[in-house]
Each structure stands twice: as C-alpha cells, then as structure tokens.
Amino acid sequence: MFIDTHAHINDEKLIDDIENVITRAHNEGVDVIVNSGSSYSSSKSSVEIASKYKEVYACIGIHPENCEEYNDDVEKFFIANANNKKVVAIGEIGLDYHYEGYNSALQKEVFIKQLKLADKLNLPVVIHSRDATKDMLDILKENKHLLKNGGLMHCFNGSVETLNEIIKLGLKVSFGGVITFKNARNSPSLITAVPLDCFTLETDCPYLCPEPFRGNINEPKNIPLIAKKISEILQINIKEIEEITTKNAKNLFKKLI
Ligand SMILES: [Zn+2]
C-alpha cells in the first residue's frame, strides 16, 4: 500500500469527481490519502471528506498565503477537531515569500502560533516553505521544543545542506512530482542523501503532476510514478520504496491505519 502524504482532493479541480479520484488511487495501490487544509474553509472541508471516506485523513491549518485569516475562531475549530480520529496533523503551515507583497512578519507570527498549537494538541505539523529557507530554519531551530510530535517538510526540493538541518531537527521530508521533472537537477543528490527512514511520498495534487503527465491535473493515483523515480535513483525495488514510505508515514501520522 502506498500513502499520499499531501494532497488537496477537496480542491475545486477534483472535488466533483472525488469518488472516482479515490477509486483510481485505489487501483494503483494508493489506499491512504492525507488531505491538507490551507485555509479555514479548506480545513473544514478536509475534515468533512475525511469523515465521509475511510481512505481519506485530514490535516487542518492556515497556509502562509492565507495568514490574514488566522483568528480565534480558526483556533477554536482546530482545538475542537484535534481529537478527531481522522485529523492527523496541523498543516499546511509555514512561510511563502514567492509572490510580491507578502507579509513576512505576519506569516512568521501565524506560523509560530500554529507550531505552538500543534505542540499543545500533541499533533505533528506539515510545513510549507517556499523561497524562505533562512527564516524557516531560524524559526524551526528557535522553536525546536515545539517539534516533539514530529513534522513533514512537504514537497521538499532544497539543498542537501538544508535537508540535513531538517533531519537534525527530527523532521521528515516528502518528495513529489518535481523530482520527476527533467530540470530537477538536485533531486538525485537529495534522494541519495536522505536517510531511508526520513522521507514520504506526496502528490500535492491537483498541482505538480509528475512526468510523463506534467502539466495535467494531478491525482493521488500518480504516487507510484514518484516511487518509481526514487527506486531508479536508489536502485531499490519499488516494492521496498512502497513499504519504507508507508512505514515512515505511519510513524509520523500516528492515527493512520
Ligand atoms: Zn499543498
């Protein structure tokens, strides 16, 4: 069994076809989908689909691009859902300095608030970091005491040095379709460098569709394409990649069955 550790099947591109999306994933051996929230409304719908479909689990969190949304109501919702059996983590949370006009001070504040909340609720975190490596590592190092429930640096595509810092903090990384892209020059060195117990697989669907379908709407069914690429780089049988990454995902998200 494969696990997609970061998906957005509640996205408008997939939600209307969600039952077929889950069936197609199932047909490729992807039997667990961890759906990520990124706003208040998508966190709510993440919980809804997780309660409706046994294969789906939920993360709840406010993505840095939506940091203005974070308020007491959101926090109350997170607290109220922390003990839900299908809510496995707080995420995705983090920093994103990619687009002009971002508010780094507010992003940092909201990120740290959610790290504190996850710690209080005994949940791991799913972290999004884009064009913000230095601030991200600074915050994680200063708040290492808040990371005892573990965390996943999703869609990781940084340097081997950054990877090593993340692993030192006790976090895992997940690899997505980007590693299959022809211009993904640092992927082989990253995959060779990552300890076998420190990575998982993700689609980040509907975005980042792996080769040979790059540019299409991505779905959890494409997880084996990412596993295949890793198996080629590491010269390890794909079955073993499947077992290793499923075990790693279950070690991180304790509520997965
Ligand atoms: Zn995402």
pTM here is 0.97
pLDDT > 70 in the chain, percent: 100
Residue 246 lies in a domain: yes
How many helices and strands, by DSSP H and E, does the chain display? 9, 8
Distance 148 CA to ligand 1 centre (A): 22
Residue 141 lies in a domain: yes
Residue 65 lies in a domain: yes
Distance 6 CA to ligand 1 centre (A): 6
Distance 8 CA to ligand 1 centre (A): 7
Residue 213 lies in a domain: yes
pLDDT at 211: 94
CB contact at 8 A, 190 and 163: yes
Average pLDDT along the chain: 97
pLDDT at 246: 98
257 pLDDT higher than 90: no
> Per the structure, how many domains does the chain have?
1
HSE-up of residue 199 (Cα within 13 Å, Cβ side): 22
Distance 217 CA to ligand 1 centre (A): 14
Domain that holds residue 246: 2-252
pLDDT at 224: 98
Whether residue 195 is preceded by a cis peptide bond, meaning omega within 30 degrees of 0, is: no
Q: What average pLDDT score do residues 26-48 get?
A: 98
Confidence band of 144 (pLDDT split at 50, 70, 90):
very high
pLDDT at 202: 98
Residue 257 lies in a domain: no
Nearest by Cα to 196 from 119, 153, 140, 248: 248
Residue 177 CB contacts under 8 Å (≥ 6 apart), including other chains: 203, 204, 208, 209, 210, 211, 214, 218, 222, 225, 226
The CATH number for 193's domain is 3.20.20.140
